[in-house]
């Protein structure tokens, strides 16, 4: 019980900062003897609490983003619903083969994102437009990426935050902390949809004791991650994302 609760604290903090806390709690449950499907569902339900506290902790950074989020939030919601449906119809091996490739691509985009943003700003300034202008094409691409990541998150929640940061980092002229706030809110929507789907479809397959312990731990961890994550510089936050993502990739390939 102590190990599960501590894993929940760590996952909640990492989800608020990065978005791959599942890569801590899921292996912990499996190591302690929980069947993989039970571990996946129990973990998804438990981590909703941490997503709530992490989103609340970053609420100030959400100001000024609601016009864009009005498009992204429905995309996350619908994508998560589709992903949860896929969970019930596709073999687990399908996404196990795709996830590492997606995570490597996302980490690469996190690293090169600032250069792409700088290039986009120079292009905008050279053409006489506002450097913070987001074209219709980029907005469509962002909503499509948000939907695709929602599908992934509804099926297997691990590392969806890293993918959201990567997509927004390439397509938006935003700083890291504001993108992190948006990522937390979008991930919360996906987690709620996934947890609701698991609860309705497989209530008896969820370990509610494990889910409760993870919920309590992640609630504390989400607050701590949001509180201290705001103090990190953009480069430090990007470094944390890359390090945690690399560890998560290793865990995905070895668990």
Nearest Cα to Cα of residue 81 among 168, 252, 200, 173: 200
- 64: region left, alpha or beta (phi > 0 left; psi from -120 to 50 alpha): left
What is the predicted pLDDT for the residue at 203? 87
Alpha-carbon gap, residue 73 to 190, rounded angstroms: 9
Q: Where do the H-state alpha helices sit in the chain?
A: 2-17, 22-31, 36-57, 66-89, 92-126, 136-155, 160-171, 176-201, 208-229, 234-254
- Name the residue ranges covered by the structural domains of the chain: 1-253
**How is residue 157 annotated by DSSP?**
-
pLDDT at 211: 93
Instruction: Calculate ∠ Cα 13-188-204, nearest 5°.
Output: 95
Give the tokens for residue 248.
């998560």
**Helix (H/G/I), strand (E/B), else coil: 171:** helix
Report the C-alpha gap between 229 and 60 in whole angstroms.
13
Largest CA distance in the chain: 60
Instruction: Tell me the C-alpha distance between 18 and 158, whole Å.
Output: 11
pLDDT tens track, the chain, 255 positions? 898 999 899 888 888 877 777 777 877 888 888 887 788 788 889 989 888 988 998 888 888 889 899 999 999 999 999 988 887 777 767 666 776 777 677 677 667 766 766 666 666 566 555 555 677 888 999 999 999 999 988 877 767 887 888 888 878 877 778 888 899 999 999 989 988 988 888 888 889 999 999 999 999 998 888 888 777 776 776 677 677 667 767 766 776
* pLDDT at 245 (0 to 100): 67
Nearest to 16 by CA among 44, 51, 46, 49: 51
Q: What is the pLDDT of residue 208?
A: 94
Which tens digits make up the pLDDT trace of 195-229?
898 888 888 888 999 999 999 999 999 888 888 87
Task: Give me the torsion for CA of 56, 61, 65, 70, rounded to 10°.
Answer: -10
How many whole angstroms separate alpha carbon 178 and alpha carbon 155?
26
pLDDT reported for residue 123 = 63
């Amino acid at each position: 019980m102590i190990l599960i609760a501590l894993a929940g604290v760590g996952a909640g903090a990492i989800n608020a900062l990065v978005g791959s806390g599942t890569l801590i709690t899921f292996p912990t449950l499996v190591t302690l003897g929980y069947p993989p499907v039970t571990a996946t569902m129990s973990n998804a339900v438990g981590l909703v609490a941490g997503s709530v506290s992490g989103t609340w902790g970053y609420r100030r950074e959400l100001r000024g983003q609601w016009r864009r989020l009005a498009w992204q939030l429905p995309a996350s919601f619908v994508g998560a619903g589709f992903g949860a449906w896929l969970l019930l119809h596709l073999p687990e091996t399908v996404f196990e083969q795709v996830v590492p490739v997606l995570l490597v691509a996302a980490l690469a985009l996190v690293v090169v994102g600032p250069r792409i943003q700088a290039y986009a700003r120079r292009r905008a300034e050279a053409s006489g437009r506002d450097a913070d202008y987001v074209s219709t094409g980029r907005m469509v691409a962002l909503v499509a990426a948000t939907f695709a990541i929602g599908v992934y998150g509804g099926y297997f929640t691990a590392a969806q935050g890293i993918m959201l940061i990567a997509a927004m980092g390439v397509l938006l002229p935003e700083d890291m902390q504001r993108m992190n706030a948006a990522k937390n809110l979008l991930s919360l929507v996906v987690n709620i949809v996934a947890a609701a789907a698991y609860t309705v479809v497989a209530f008896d397959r969820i370990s509610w004791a494990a889910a409760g312990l993870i919920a309590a731990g992640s609630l504390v961890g989400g607050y701590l991650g949001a509180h201290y994550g705001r103090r990190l510089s953009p480069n430090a936050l990007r470094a944390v994302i890359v390090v945690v993502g690399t560890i998560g990739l290793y865990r995905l390939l070895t668990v």
